[in-house]
Structure formats: structure tokens, C-alpha cells
Amino acid sequence: MRPQAVRRAALRARLRARELDGLLVTDLVNIRYLTGFTGSNAALLVAAEDDDASLFCTDGRYVTQSAAEVPDLPVVTDRASARALAARASWLGVQHLGFESDAVTVDAHLALDEAAGTTELVRAPGLVADLRAVKDAVEVAALRTACAVAEAALTDLLAAGGLAPGRTERGVALDLENRMREHGATAPAFRTILATGAHSAIPHHTPTDTPLRRGDLVKIDFGALVDGYHSDVTRTFVIGPPAQWQRDVHELVARAQLAGRAALAPGVEVVAVDAASRDVIAAAGQGEHFVHGLGHGVGLEIHEAPALAATGTGTLAAGMVLTVEPGVYLEGRGGVRIEDTLVVGPDGAESLTRLPRELVEV
């Protein structure tokens, strides 16, 4: 059985628990998760009964593609995919149809309601996102490959002297992204954050033409997109011998990151994982300089549930893949972030990223 069929079966159990006869899926990422379809226009009606009563819809541009990517569902061809399936819901005996209210505009909701006729539309946000939070073996393998591709590219960059003084942030970022493509990435997982000197104190700095200089911290936050799955890793380097303050900040962030990684286990509240790292930094008097959440889920999107943050909710489960990325940012001087992508296992977590975490002098 295709992994997508297994995921639809898990979704059907949730639909029956909610007393829904079906779910109209319109978010393209969720559609890819449930069917394997990678096109730009589609909708999916997952019937609570079985796949025989489910329907996939796309337009004429994707007839050949959908036959290859969605071989196990009946296919309808219609440009207005969501409305076409809403109109067919009553034919399939669907009286109570859930829809992704977190992914549908007000106008689209009105159009769907009109098309559905006697079928009742019921708000059902988050049903697929909750499933996606726990990765299956196929997904973990894809994420592992995405991590390996990103790390191979950075290793090549360093071996080629890619962080030499005089190179620009923008130039190095482009070089790294091209190397990821050479190693098999479809694209970067997100716009590479490459920040030198004082810019490294900006958590999400956009690379500029600022040159790298001797004595600078260089923070690189990057990832590769492989088979639709994203990797995410951050390392901080120093050009030339580090100053003592740079050593101290890096050592503090490394201890905080270790505490966060060690806290990952099934049943642990996400706020407790955040606190495990945050408390280390706060105890050193640097709490005000750790200005973001500890991490996030990663998969078909670069930011997924759950959020490791003081405002996060819920507990961890085996199979969740998350980042742990504490940072300390000293405005006008520089900043350090260390980030890994990890998968939660029955007894702890495995890091899918393997790069050394020490402060590396280049």
C-alpha cells in the first residue's frame, strides 16, 4: 500500500471521531501529503467510508501527471477543483463535509457552500496538520537525505575556502545554494541566512554585499529541499582566532542546545523543551538576548507543528521531526546560533544533522 493511502486511512479515523462524512482538502501541501500530487491546482475529497468513495480533482494541465502521481484514487478533471468536489459530495452520500477553514478565504467558503447544496460544510482546521506532525518512515528517510545534501554542500564550501575574507555575504550564500543543487537538492529549503560580523546578531538577516572580515563571526542558517522535504541547520564560524567573548557566547549556546536536544522525548511538553534551553541562557545573564522560540517542526514545510516555544502547546510524540536552535544575539557585536534537525524516538532523539557543533576557525 502506498504511504499516502496509509495516511488517508489515518485521516478517516479522525473524521469518524469528529462525526464527519468526509473532508475537503484544499491546502496543496496537505494534498501532496495525502496523494503525492505536486501540481499547482487540485482538491481532494477524503470520504470517511473508504477510498472508493473519495475523489481527487485537478485541471487539464495535469491529466498525465496526476495519473502517475495519484494512481489509487478516482480522478475528476475540472479547473474549479474545490467547487467541483463540493458539488459532488451529496452524490457520494456526504452529509457533513469538513473543510480546511484555516486555508480557505471567506469568498471561497461562500462559493463552496453554494456548490455543496444540501451538504453541510463544517469547519475542520488542523486535521491533516496534526497527522503531518508525526512523520512516517518514508518521510524520515527523505528528511535524512535533505540533511545530508545540505551538509555535503557546506563541507564542500569550507574545503574550497568559501569563507575567505573579502567574499560577500551574498556571494557565499549563492555559492552554498548552488552546491546544494549540485548535490541533488531541488532548491534551497528557504532563503539562506548568511550573516557576518555585527549582522550575525540579526536572527533572520538577509545577505548583503558586506564582505567577510578577519575576526568576524559568520552565522549560516540553511537547508536543502529534496523530494519536497526540507532540512534546516545552523552553524556559526569565526574568521581567524576567536576573541574570548566569541568563545564564551558560542560555548553558552552550545550548552543550551545540548540541554534542548536532551529534553526531546515522547510525552514531554513543548514548553518544557524550550525552557530546558532557555534556562541555561537565562542563568548566564543572557536571557534577553535569546529572542525567538527554541525550534519548530519541519517536513513538507520549513515551519510545521509543533512549535518549541514558551507559547507552544501540546506534547512530543515519537516520529516528530523538529529543530533545536537556541541563539544569543549581541546587537552591534555579533551573534551565535546552533541548530540541528532531530527526530524524536521512543527513548530520546536522533540528530539528522551531523556537522560538528564546535566553534570552527576558518
**What is the pLDDT tens value at each position of the chain, 362 positions in all?**
899 999 999 999 999 999 999 999 999 999 999 999 999 999 999 999 999 999 999 999 999 999 999 999 999 999 999 999 999 998 888 999 999 999 999 999 999 999 999 999 999 999 999 999 999 999 999 999 999 999 999 999 999 999 999 999 999 999 999 999 999 999 999 999 999 999 999 999 999 999 999 999 999 999 999 999 999 999 999 999 999 999 999 999 999 999 999 999 999 999 999 999 999 999 999 999 999 999 999 999 999 999 999 999 999 999 999 999 999 999 999 999 999 999 999 989 999 999 999 999 99
Chain Cα centroid distance, residue 335: 23
- Specify burial of residue 291 (Cβ count, 10 A radius: 0-12, 13-18, 19+): exposed
Is there a single domain that holds both residue 126 and residue 151? no
Please give the model's pTM, rounded to 2 decimal places.
0.95
Is there a single domain that holds both residue 199 and residue 315? yes
Contact between 259 and 267 under an 8 Å Cβ cutoff? The reply is no
Q: What is the Rg, in whole angstroms, of the alpha carbon atoms belonging to the chain?
A: 23
User: Cell 475542520, residue?
Assistant: 124
User: What CATH number has the domain bearing residue 10?
Assistant: 3.40.350.10
Q: Cβ contacts of residue 194 below 8 Å, gap of 6+?
A: 169, 170, 172, 173, 176, 205, 207, 218, 219, 220, 221, 222
Decide which of 104, 131, 158 is a domain's last residue: 131
* Phi and psi torsions of 335, nearest 5°: -145, 160
Domain tally for the chain?
2
DSSP helix/strand/coil, 231: coil
Decide which of 131, 161, 188 is a domain's last residue: 131
Is there a single domain that holds both residue 15 and residue 154? no
Is there a single domain that holds both residue 234 and residue 142? yes
Distance CA 32, CA 299 (A): 12
Distance CA 202, CA 182 (A): 29
What domain range includes position 352?
Answer: 137-361
